[in-house]
Amino acid sequence: MVINIRPDEISSITRKQIEGYVPEVKVVNIGTVLQVGDGIARIHGPNKVMAGELVESEDGTVGIALNPESDNAGAVPTGDGLTIQEGSSVRATGKIAQIPVSDSPLGRVVNALAQPIDGKGQIPASEFRPIESPAPGIISRRSAYEPSQTGLIAIDSTIPIGRGQRELTIGDRQTGKTAVATDTISNQKGQNVICVYVAIGQKASSVAQVVDTSQDRGAMGYTIVVSETANSPATLQYLAPYTGAALAEYFMYRKQHTPIIHDDLPKQAQAYRQMSLPSRRPPGREAYPGDVSYPHSRLSERAAKLSLQLGEGSMTALPTVETQAGDVSAYIPTNVISITDGQIFLSADLFNAGIRPAINVGISVSRVGSAAQIKAMKQVAGKLKLELAQFAELEAFAQFASDLDKTTQNQLARGQRLRELLKQSQSAPLSVEEQVATTHTGVNGYLDIPEVEQVKRFSVQLREYVITNKPQFGEITRSTKVSTEQAETPSKEAIEESTEIFLLQEK
């Protein structure tokens, strides 16, 4: 078969191609892996790589540039990085690390890259958000004035937390830090609040337990769990809190309220140390790099109560820190205490003495204070913390005194009853009106009648009586948020009637 090729046809086709050609210059920023090991790849050559920029190796492994220098950069792979080899090429993408965000992750468990790990399929995303973004400035914020109720009377009455605040939960292992966090999440039900729980370096079984508890209480519908367990690469454990903050910010800027729990920050500091030492950053105290407080400070500064112009959304940071033998003066605990707006201290001694939640009210503090309480709570809870602090001092003093005067005995008896009053079972959050009625009972001497061991039973019965027989008290407190005469009358009646019933039952 003979094909006739006409030269004029070829020239016309060539001419059309030349006329339609659009010159395009594409610059690709490529480097070479000099050294790889200990989870760090040192790359030579990429020009002007940014700190936090995503880089991609030949095998498709994505890493994050952390140590950009004049002619090389240290990068940490987001996976195990086992397929990266010396001499292979690495491409700078020009993008800062970012994650997909949308309403879809609600009720899901995701990793530090916002990818689902609960086996329920992919999560559709409407937009992307940088993992690290600037914190709102002074003009963009307003002071915390709305309460973020935890449902725990020991916290809401004496150490109140406001929306946009940063309140640290600190204590030894197995003292109830995670229980406080899960109870706080459960108490947000029906309040149009989105919760984010970030598990950093936890056991997979512990994370599964939190998820199961949240599902049983109906809390997973408004909760996102970000989990990087103890066997995850240090890079991902380090990034997990920032991913949680990015997810929470998405909702905050959409005029919603988002409590975020970081459980716990020393694990992130350890992951940062694990990344920094192979990067040849000089070690300081406890072998941490000198800037170890910076990752925590730039994380906590993202928590804010936004101004009226930005919609008054909020992100309330509730980080936890595990101490060793109650040592709050260790390096990481002191750093985190200094950059938060208060701390809830959980004591192993109180926990072992059967006081749950084991909150040491004397040394716990909220730097927002009564600004984060409704007026009704502020009016009745003013004396509570003072009386508990005085009781703690008297209790220590009374151990050495054989003969005490009547006033001191009465004060000790009142303090013992108040401490019993603050005991609360797990998964039993109290509404604001229940807390107001209970606190009113304690500070006004109504608890002096029952015996110490009867106080908890008495307070439970009182709350049930108020809800059942005096619903107007709850309605007035919720609507006015002030302890008015209209509310005080049914409250006093309920306390007196409930006391009579209780005493009759005990006879």
How confident is the model over 281-338, as pLDDT tens digits?
899 999 999 999 999 999 999 999 999 999 999 999 999 999 998 898 999 999 999 9
- Return the DSSP state at 258: E
142 catalytic per annotation: no
Q: What pLDDT is stored for residue 70 in this prediction?
A: 80
Q: What pLDDT is stored for residue 401 in this prediction?
A: 63
Tell me if 177 is assigned to a ligand binding site.
yes
Residues 38, 40, 41, 45: is their CA dihedral positive or negative? negative
- Rg value, the chain, Cα: 29
Tell me if 151 is assigned to a ligand binding site.
no
What is the band of 481 on the pLDDT scale with cuts at 50, 70, 90? low
In the predicted structure, residue 162 carries a pLDDT above the cut 70: yes
What letter represents residue 506's amino acid? E
Catalytically annotated residue among 142, 367, 457, 478: 367
Burial bucket for residue 82 (CB in 10 Å: 0-12, 13-18, 19+): exposed
Average pLDDT over residues 14-32: 78
Distance separating alpha carbons of residues 152 and 428, to the nearest angstrom: 8
Beta strands in 40-194 (DSSP E): 40-44, 53-57, 62-68, 72-77, 89-96, 98-101, 109-110, 127-130, 168-171
Tell me if 20 is assigned to a ligand binding site.
no
Could you give phi then psi for residue 180, rounded to 5 degrees? -60, -40
In the predicted structure, residue 411 carries a pLDDT above the cut 90: no
Domains of the chain, each with CATH number or no CATH = 29-96 (2.40.30.20), 100-373 (3.40.50.300), 380-506 (1.20.150.20)
What letter represents residue 430's amino acid? L
Q: With beta carbons less than 8 A apart as the criterion, state whether 63 and 98 touch.
A: no
Beta-bridge partner residues of 196? 224, 260
Tell me if 456 is assigned to a ligand binding site.
no
How confident is the model over 34-58, as pLDDT tens digits?
888 877 888 887 777 888 888 988 8
Q: What pLDDT is stored for residue 29 in this prediction?
A: 80
Q: With beta carbons less than 8 A apart as the criterion, state whether 335 and 281 touch.
A: no
How confident is the model over 343-366, as pLDDT tens digits?
999 999 999 998 999 998 878 999
How confident is the model over 326-340, as pLDDT tens digits?
898 999 999 999 999
- Which tokens go with 230? 């103890």
For the entire predicted model, the pTM comes to: 0.89
How far, CA to CA in Å, does 371 sit from each of 75, 85, 212, 377? Answer: 45, 57, 35, 11
Q: With beta carbons less than 8 A apart as the criterion, state whether 92 and 31 touch.
A: yes
Angle, CA 88 vertex, CA 82 and CA 91 arms, to 5°: 100
In the predicted structure, residue 484 carries a pLDDT above the cut 70: no
Average pLDDT over residues 192-204: 96
Q: What pLDDT is stored for residue 446 in this prediction?
A: 83
Burial bucket for residue 24 (CB in 10 Å: 0-12, 13-18, 19+): exposed
Question: What's the chain's average pLDDT?
Answer: 88
More confident residue, 3 or 199: 199
In the predicted structure, residue 264 carries a pLDDT above the cut 90: no
Distance separating alpha carbons of residues 274 and 277, to the nearest angstrom: 6
How confident is the model over 106-160, as pLDDT tens digits?
999 999 999 999 999 999 988 999 999 999 999 999 999 999 999 999 999 999 9
Distance separating alpha carbons of residues 507 and 498, to the nearest angstrom: 15
Q: DSSP letters of 73-104?
A: EEEEESS--TT--TT-EEEEEEEE-EEEESST
- Return the DSSP state at 306: B
Distance separating alpha carbons of residues 408 and 389, to the nearest angstrom: 14
Distance separating alpha carbons of residues 377 and 336, to the nearest angstrom: 29
Q: What pLDDT is stored for residue 3 in this prediction?
A: 62
- Return the DSSP state at 134: P
Q: What pLDDT is stored for residue 507 in this prediction?
A: 63
In the predicted structure, residue 402 carries a pLDDT above the cut 70: no
Q: With beta carbons less than 8 A apart as the criterion, state whether 465 and 447 touch.
A: no
Q: What pLDDT is stored for residue 487 in this prediction?
A: 65
Tell me if 175 is assigned to a ligand binding site.
yes
Average pLDDT over residues 202-208: 95
Q: Which SS3 state, helix, strand or coil, does residue 347 take?
A: coil
Q: Please count the other Cβ atoms lying within 10 Å of the Cβ belonging to residue 271.
A: 24
What is the band of 485 on the pLDDT scale with cuts at 50, 70, 90? low
What is the band of 384 on the pLDDT scale with cuts at 50, 70, 90? confident
Q: What pLDDT is stored for residue 483 in this prediction?
A: 62
Query: Which residue, 345, 423, 299, is CA-closest to 169?
Result: 345
Q: What pLDDT is stored for residue 2 in this prediction?
A: 56
Could you give phi then psi for residue 304, rounded to 5 degrees? -165, 160
Q: What pLDDT is stored for residue 85 in this prediction?
A: 85
Tell me if 176 is assigned to a ligand binding site.
yes
